[in-house]
A and B are shown apart, each in its own frame.
Chain A
């Protein structure tokens, strides 16, 4: 948390006006959603399936190094597409308006060890509602890291650069554990909770299926290429995990991003909610290919303002959102991928050590409202 509240110059009226302007941007996209958008997601899904099919086909011959390289690269990209531009966004309900039961948040299952249903709860419901609120948003350091000066330091945090690296490599398992709130639920008393056990079972089933597919069935199908296919799938999963972890770290961890205290969201208005999303998220700048490979989460700010708008529209929305940042004199945190990743990692390192408490707090919204 920075010592100075970067939104202090805004009056309550201005914040509500900002909210109305953002609503207008949203309405405009919703009114113009149509055939082109539907064609886009169908094309992406079909391309992803074809790429995965071809890559797995090539890996049958992965005993030959060029086939290994080609197949592994293809499978890595296919897994990233499935995870980011397709899975994450479909599960946000971005494509529910098409009313196609095959591309719908209630029916979609992704190539991931966390079952869709559980991820939707922890991500869509908890993280997106309570973005960057300490103690409410578990995404803030995923419960294993300290990413803000205001979080209490414990000796365990000394190891957080290492935890973060391990988490990056096995990110999908980290997410599954996170969706299960494993840290909290492994306590003796909670372990027996039937609801938790049912969810843990579901995760177990999902892990079994995914592992069987990637590390047993496909290698077996490859016959003499058993080991090389195994290595290829492992590599593809590793690449996908590190990539998605990096992208996601860029969303809320870089320097310049604000976090909030629990009391600051009491009685939050729509305008204030929007403002919190704006100040709590960061973008990645780059080419169209980069935006695509990040599942358009490079437009994290826009995604957090409008989590259910189709991802292919964030780029055009970003222009208008950025103009509002300028109009209201707010900092639009963005930068190229290496810079943002570096910034996030630096914070992880820096906050593994204790620090002095900052002197000034973000103002209490409730008091502000009363004053207004």
Chain B
């Protein structure tokens, strides 16, 4: 018998010993970060970055597969006893020697998770993790010239890139309300001093919002640069339009942190068939929120439609995508993102 077969036999026997629980339920008591456990991480430190942003140092469990610069990770944090999942960009370089990773979180007004992480998270706390994900990453082949166009916390995935790989010619245009709101400001200025980065800070409280047409003056050769842009929808919409207008849209890579929400209507009776709950939903509230309100165990993630952590089978009825207004009708195998879908009439969600 091979060792794998032996191990699986041994595991089966262990399962008989621990039924109805699993051996892992007992192992989790002593070693929650071991190989083979559900992926978790332990918060080891919280470093303030600005008045409302902090970097969280996480020791991931042994099952962590590593990330590519620019990717995000979904984390599940218990806030006031309730497990909430969000996605945050990884800001640590991929080759960090001590095996830890960092995310950098900006507290947004009324943000339950972000405020908890920035202001209340304590070292030693266990959090749930997913493997890193996302395609807002650098290409295999090094581009000659790079532009990073960021605003606010949009700097976080780009910081992961900046720390990971050095390019010969990098320009960054970053927008924040005031100088003290610029996350990683000291480190950025160090890079500038070492001539590893050319940086333009736009302070929107004094300079106003960045007019994308000003790029010609700030970065005259912008059209020749491979560009990674991350920030609010307004900035990204303007950038996409600008790059398309000049016929260089293939050089622009964007990552959106907030979906633009389309006007929605309808609503209807939503059945969560696995739990047997039925509730009324309006046409503007994400089905994820509807389910959570009703006490259904809903998987969730970024809550903005990017991470696909919340996909669930749609068994009957129709839903509307809150970003595009597009209607999806139930068919065998149809999955919907509950965080950006609302009821478009009665529907049945398999949860």
Interface residues of chain A, those whose CB is within 8 Å of chain B, are 33-39, 46, 49-50, 53, 93, 96-102, 104, 106-107, 109-111, 206, 209-210, 212-213, 217-218, 221
Contact = CB atoms under 8 A, between A and B. Distances in A.
Interface string B58-83: 00000000000000000000101111
Contacts of A53: 26
28 contacts: A34-B80, A34-B81, A35-B78, A35-B80, A35-B81, A36-B81, A37-B81, A38-B78, A38-B82, A49-B21, A53-B26, A96-B297, A97-B295, A98-B78, A99-B84, A99-B292, A99-B297, A99-B298, A101-B297, A104-B297, A106-B275, A109-B20, A111-B20, A206-B20, A209-B19, A210-B20, A213-B18, A213-B19
B16 interface: yes
Nearest to A208: B19
B193 interface: no
A110 B80 contact: no
Interface residues of B, number: 22
Contacts of A39: 81
A295 B244 CA distance: 65
Contacts of B80: 34-35
B274 interface: yes
A110 B275 contact: no
Nearest to A99: B83
A218 B17 contact: yes
A57 B26 CA distance: 13
Contacts of B295: 93, 96-97
A153 B78 CA distance: 55
Contacts of B78: 35, 38, 98, 100
Interface residue SS majority, chain A: helix
Contacts of B20: 109-111, 206, 209-210
Contacts of B21: 49, 109
A36 B80 CA distance: 8
B29 interface: yes
B25 interface: yes
Contacts of A37: 81
A153 to B, nearest CB: 38
Nearest to B297: A104
Interface of B: 13, 16-21, 25-26, 29, 78, 80-84, 274-275, 292, 295, 297-298
B19 A97 contact: no
Given A99-B292, A106-B275, A221 B81 contact: no
Central interface residue in A38, A99, A106, A209, by most chain B CB within 10 Å: A99
Contacts of A100: 78, 83
Contacts of A93: 295
A33 B17 contact: no
Contacts of B274: 106
A69 to B, nearest CB: 23
A34 to B, nearest CB: 4
B179 to A, nearest CB: 36
A99 B19 contact: no
A205 to B, nearest CB: 11
Given A46-B29, A212-B16, A107 B297 contact: yes
Contacts of A38: 78, 81-82
B82 A98 contact: yes
Contacts of B292: 99
Nearest to B85: A99
A209 B81 CA distance: 33
Given A99-B83, A109-B21, 18 more contacts: A35-B81, A38-B81, A49-B21, A49-B26, A53-B26, A98-B83, A99-B84, A100-B78, A100-B83, A101-B297, A102-B25, A104-B297, A110-B20, A209-B16, A212-B19, A213-B17, A217-B16, A218-B17
A110 B274 CA distance: 20
A39 B80 CA distance: 10
A34 B80 CA distance: 5
Contacts of B16: 209, 212-213, 217
Nearest to A100: B83
Nearest to A101: B297
B273 to A, nearest CB: 12
